[in-house]
């Protein structure tokens, strides 16, 4: 059956309606959450929530989750999962602290060492997952135990302190003696200008080729809004102490990985392999190799996150990074990753991490107890995935392709095929597994 999308009318209302909710829904949600906390804070405690200090703190406190979420998004898009990142982070952090404190290595060598170690762990796990085809769930579950154990061994179950420039990475505002306030503002303005320039250029080319992706109004709103957010963010950081070093690292990672995901053959293959592995393979995508490198990247990012956590605490601890994998996975799903793989953006993962961070920070400022915070965060994750399911239905034409018995909501054949392959590919979906085992006869 053919779905015939309704023609777009060039009105403001339809422009708003046609905004891709999956892509921008979470940005809107993030803004709404911030406004909500601002309102609550003003009424209940008579003070502002949206302050340069609070915003900076959200970045500082969640930096390592955001780094992990970037890698996790690639892993999930490729149709896998990584449960080991918390332990890998702890192990790499411990090794960097050892290199720094016991072996007297310069800080940058210690950092590179941790990243390389993480990548090496990625090689180990990626090999089993991609080439031996052991489900990522199992391999990384094993990794979670192995690297936690190694952390305890290396640290002898004690804390190892770190000093000097190394610690500045997680919370410093001056890099090698250079104050970062003015650069923050300059880069913010230059970035917004560059963004507008590239947006206009790409738009012109699309219009020229006769294949504009969206209406003029939608495009204008989008471009203006993003540029405004960039300027506002730059000014906010400027008015406190400037963007901290970790903020620059994050910015670099987001730009780098967005580029990799969208503009490189490797990136597109990550998506193609996760969206429909068989079709990708038959289209000449080296699926195994792609998956392997995704896990190497995840490992390297875990190593970097390990450095940041250690630097932030000024010490490597045996329990560092505990349950961070869950935060990173949650951030990816809040940020629009599809449970079946193939869908998700780097910026989405970061936004997802920020939504969690802002919620935590906001509730903390309001004096809400941690137990309640946990419950609310749990519900948010559920709501985000629910939103994704609803949105998918909407995108595939809602009522046009209603679920038939036996097919997944949304009714696309691909989803059904995935569910069938689900067991060897993604044992995380407990629903699929239990549904079949329950019905098994005793024979």
Partner 1 sequence: MSEDILRMRGITKRFPGVLALSGVALGVKRATIHALVGENGAGKSTLMKVLSGVYAYGDFDGEIEFDGQPAQFKNIRDSEAAGVVIIHQELALVGELSIAENIFLGNERKRGGVISWDRTNAEAARLMQKVGLHDNPATLVEKIGVGKQQLVEIAKALSKDVKLLILDEPTAALNDSDSENLLELLRQLREEGVTSIIISHKLGEVLSVADRITVLRDGQSIETLDTEADAVTEDRLIKSMVGRDLEHLYPPHEPKIGKVFFEINDWSVHHPEQRDRVMVNKASINVARGEIVGLAGLMGAGRTEFAMSVFGRSWGSNISGEATMDGKRLHLRNVPEAIESGLAYATEDRKHYGLHLEYDLRENFTLPGLDRLSTRGVVDQDKVNAVSERLRTEFGVKAPSVYSLAGNLSGGNQQKVVLGKWVFTEPELLILDEPTRGIDVGAKYEIYELIHKLVDQGKGVLMISSELPELLGMCDRIYAMSAGHITGQVDRANATQEELMRLMTLETASGGEEQRQ
User: Which of 23, 379, 437, 443 lies closest to 226, judged by CA?
Assistant: 23
- Closest CB to partner 1 among 176 and 209? 209
User: Across-strand partners of 178?
Assistant: 175
In the set 192, 285, 300, 349, which binds partner 1 (CB under 8 A)?
A: 285
Residue 253's nearest CA partner among 66, 65, 79 is 66
368 is a site residue for partner 1 (CB under 8 A): no
Among 283, 372, 374, 434, binds partner 1 (CB under 8 A): 283
> Shortest distance, CB of residue 56 to partner 1, whole angstroms?
34
Find the binder of partner 1 among 203, 241, 286, 314 (CB under 8 A): 286
Q: Which residue stretch of 79-87, 94-102, 283-291, 297-305 sits at the interface with partner 1 (rule: CB under 8 A)?
A: 283-291
Q: What angle (nearest 5°) sits at the alpha carbon of residue 49, between those of residues 47 and 52?
A: 110
Check residue 279 for interaction with partner 1 (CB under 8 A): yes
Residue from 13, 132, 404, 430 that binds partner 1 (CB under 8 A)? 404
CB 85 within 8 A of CB 304: no
Q: What is the DSSP letter of 106?
A: -
CB of 432 to partner 1, least distance (A): 11
Site residue total, partner 1 (CB under 8 A): 58
- Could you tell me which of 375, 332, 383, 310 has the C-alpha nearest to residue 159? 310
Q: Is 348 in the site for partner 1 (CB under 8 A)?
A: no
Segment (H or E) for 174: strand 174-175
Q: Is residue 221 exposed (0-12), middle (13-18) or buried (19+ Cβ within 10 Å)?
A: middle
Is residue 441 exposed (0-12), middle (13-18) or buried (19+ Cβ within 10 Å)?
exposed
Q: Which stretch binds partner 1 (CB under 8 A): 25-33, 39-47, 226-234, 273-281?
A: 273-281
Q: Nearer Cβ to partner 1, position 166 or 271?
A: 271
342 binds partner 1 (CB under 8 A): yes
Pairing of strands 315-316, 174-175: unpaired
432 binds partner 1 (CB under 8 A): no
DSSP secondary structure code for residue 383 in this structure: H
43 in contact with partner 1 (CB under 8 A): no
Contact status: 132 vs partner 1 (CB under 8 A): no
Q: Is 430 in the site for partner 1 (CB under 8 A)?
A: no
Name the residue nearer to partner 1 (CB basis): 282 or 323: 282
Token pair, residue 165, equals: 């420039």
Asked whether the beta carbons of 87 and 147 are under 8 A apart, the reply is yes
Question: Length of the chain, please?
Answer: 443
Residues interacting with partner 1, by CB under 8 A?
Answer: 1-6, 202, 205-206, 209-211, 213, 263-266, 268-269, 271-272, 275-276, 278-286, 338, 342-343, 395-400, 402, 404-407, 412-414, 416-417, 420, 436, 439-443
């Amino acid at each position: 059956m053919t779905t015939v999308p309704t023609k777009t009318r060039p009105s403001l209302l339809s422009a708003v309606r046609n905004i891709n909710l999956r892509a921008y829904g979470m940005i809107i949600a993030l803004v709404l959450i911030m406004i909500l906390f601002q309102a609550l804070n003003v009424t209940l405690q008579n003070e502002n929530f949206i302050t340069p200090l609070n915003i900076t703190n959200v970045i500082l406190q969640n930096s390592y989750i955001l780094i992990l979420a970037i890698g996790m998004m690639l892993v999930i898009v490729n149709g896998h999962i990584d449960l080991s990142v918390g332990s890998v982070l702890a192990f790499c952090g411990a090794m960097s602290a050892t290199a720094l404190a016991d072996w007297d290595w310069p800080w940058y060598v210690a950092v590179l060492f941790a990243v390389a170690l993480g990548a090496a762990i990625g090689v180990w796990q990626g090999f089993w997952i991609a080439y031996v085809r052991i489900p990522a769930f199992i391999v990384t579950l094993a990794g979670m135990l192995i690297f936690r154990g190694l952390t305890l061994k290396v640290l002898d179950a004690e804390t190892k302190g770190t000093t000097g420039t190394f610690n500045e990475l997680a919370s410093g505002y001056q890099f090698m003696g250079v104050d970062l306030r003015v650069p923050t503002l300059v880069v913010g303005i230059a970035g917004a200008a560059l963004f507008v320039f590239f947006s206009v250029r790409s738009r012109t080319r699309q219009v020229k080729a006769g294949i504009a992706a969206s209406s003029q109004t939608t495009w204008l709103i989008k471009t203006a809004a993003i540029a405004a957010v960039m300027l506002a963010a730059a000014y906010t950081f400027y008015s406190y102490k400037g963007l901290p070093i970790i903020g620059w690292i994050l910015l670099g990672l987001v730009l780098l990985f967005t580029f990799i995901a969208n503009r490189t053959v490797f990136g597109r293959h990550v998506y193609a392999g996760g969206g429909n592995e068989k079709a990708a393979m038959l289209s000449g995508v080296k699926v195994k190799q792609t998956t392997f490198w995704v896990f190497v990247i995840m490992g390297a990012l875990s190593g970097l996150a390990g450095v940041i956590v250690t630097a932030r605490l000024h010490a490597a601890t045996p329990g560092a990074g505990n349950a961070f994998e869950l935060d990173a996975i949650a951030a990816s799903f809040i940020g629009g990753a599809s449970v079946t793989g193939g869908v998700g953006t780097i910026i989405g993962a970061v936004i997802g991490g920020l939504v969690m961070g802002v919620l935590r920070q906001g509730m903390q400022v309001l004096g809400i107890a941690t137990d309640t915070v946990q419950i609310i965060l749990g519900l948010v994750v559920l709501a985000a995935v629910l939103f994704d399911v609803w949105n998918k239905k909407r995108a595939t034409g809602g009522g046009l392709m209603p679920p038939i018995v036996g097919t997944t909501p949304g009714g696309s054949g691909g989803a059904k095929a995935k569910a069938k392959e689900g067991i060897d590919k993604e044992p995380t979906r407990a629903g699929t597994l239990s549904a079949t085992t329950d019905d098994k006869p005793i024979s």
